[in-house]
């Protein structure tokens, strides 16, 4: 188990050392743009890094949608992201589950996920589906939908990323989420460990520093004790606040 943070992409290895983390997650292109990532100039530094590196794909990506104008560029950007991530040995590329939109047929979304994974298969990169907090027609918000998605894609090179803010705000009780995810995959690939500014099932995706939000502490502690996987915080406040969040987790791992 390694504990780390989502950090700035530039000088990432130094950034994570300053936070006393042992793993990190970065964007390798602008999270709000369709532009594909460039080859990394710091490829040697990233390749030499001791711990696992995770890449978060841009937020615009929605591989599930029936809308061709979004789905096609989503697949391309995901593939380009996987290629660059593979070049420096990243352990996984995280993608939000996406949505089929108002009135959309969710089973089409599952099948679109399968096609997207088949499209990126030759990059060798493992894709991690992250559960999301909002939307009624989201593919990976509620437990039953995540289970149905897994029936369609579970045989492919794909894993699960559990985001504690998203399970809470999305309306899956934390313990149920941990048990449910653990049932679907041998080992949850990654935990995004965030507190939530908003209430249970609020559908709002606003991360908070650990112990300062609305998720009961014992639920967060349950995740640490029962997931046995890499943990990355995506919390606000920059270096000092994230350093505290990493220490918060490490203290509880020692107990
Ligand atoms: Zn997340």
The secondary structure element, H or E, covering residue 147 is: helix 143-153
Given a contact cutoff of 8 angstroms between Cβ atoms, the answer to whether 93 and 126 are in contact is yes
The per-residue pLDDT for range 82-108, each reduced to its tens digit, is: 999 999 999 999 999 999 999 999 999
Cα 121 to ligand 1 centroid, rounded to whole Å:
23
Residue 254 Cα to ligand 1 middle (Å): 24
Quote the ligand 1 centre to 192 CA distance (angstroms).
5
CATH of the domain at 124: 3.20.20.150
pLDDT value, residue 154: 97
pLDDT tens for each residue of 16-70: 999 999 999 999 999 999 999 999 999 999 999 999 999 999 999 999 999 999 9
**What 3-state class would DSSP assign to 94?**
strand
**Both tokens assigned to 72:** 């096609």
pLDDT score of 255 more than 80: no
Quick one: average pLDDT of 65-77? Answer: 97
* Integer Cα distance of 73 and 15 in angstroms: 31
Task: Read off the pLDDT of residues 162-189 as tens digits, 9 standing for 90 and up.
Answer: 999 999 999 999 999 999 999 999 899 9
> Would you state the pLDDT for residue 135?
83
| Whole-angstrom distance, CA of residue 79 vs CA of residue 119 | 7
N- to C-terminal Cα separation, the chain: 15
DSSP letter, residue 64: S
Domain that holds residue 22: 3-254
Residues 126 and 158: their CA atoms lie apart, in Å, by 6
Q: Are 242 and 194 in contact (CB under 8 A)?
A: no
Is residue 239 very low, low, confident or very high in pLDDT (cuts 50, 70, 90)? very high
Beta strand residue intervals within 85-234, DSSP E? 92-96, 127-130, 158-163, 190-192, 195-196, 207-208, 230-233
Give the count of domains, the chain: 1
pTM of the model: 0.97
Sheet strands (E) in 71-125:
92-96
Query: What are the Cα distances from residue 41, in Å, to 10, 51, 87?
Result: 10, 19, 11
Three-state SS at 4: strand
CA of 41 to the centre of ligand 1 (A): 26
pLDDT 10s digits, 121-167: 999 999 999 999 998 799 999 999 999 999 999 999 999 999 999 99
Q: How long a stretch of residues is the chain?
A: 255
In this prediction, residue 111 carries a pLDDT of: 98
**Residue 152 Cα, ligand 1 centroid: separation in angstroms?**
23
The Cα–Cα gap between 168 and 145 comes to 16
């Amino acid at each position: 188990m390694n504990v780390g943070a989502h950090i700035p992409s530039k000088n990432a290895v130094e950034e994570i050392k300053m936070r006393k983390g042992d793993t990190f997650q970065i964007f390798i292109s602008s999270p709000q743009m369709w532009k594909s990532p460039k080859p990394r100039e710091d490829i040697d530094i990233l390749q030499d890094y001791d711990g696992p590196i995770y890449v978060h794909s841009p937020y615009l990506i929605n591989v599930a949608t029936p809308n061709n104008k979004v789905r096609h560029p989503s697949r391309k950007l995901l593939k380009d992201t996987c290629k660059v991530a593979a070049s420096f040995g990243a352990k996984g590329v995280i993608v939000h589950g996406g949505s089929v939109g108002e009135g959309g047929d969710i089973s089409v979304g599952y099948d679109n996920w399968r096609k997207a994974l088949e499209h990126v298969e030759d990059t060798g990169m493992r894709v991690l589906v992250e559960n999301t907090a909002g939307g009624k027609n989201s593919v990976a918000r509620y437990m039953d939908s995540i289970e149905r998605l897994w029936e369609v894609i579970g045989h492919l090179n794909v894993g699960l990323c559990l985001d504690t803010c998203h399970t809470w705000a999305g309306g899956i009780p934390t313990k149920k989420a941990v048990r449910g995810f653990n049932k679907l995959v041998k080992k949850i690939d990654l935990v995004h460990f965030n507190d939530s500014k908003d209430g249970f099932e609020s559908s709002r995706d606003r991360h908070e520093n650990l112990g300062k939000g609305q998720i009961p502490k014992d639920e967060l502690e349950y995740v640490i004790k029962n997931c046995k996987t890499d943990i990355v915080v995506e919390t606000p406040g920059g270096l000092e606040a994230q350093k505290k969040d990493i220490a918060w987790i490490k203290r509880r791992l020692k107990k």
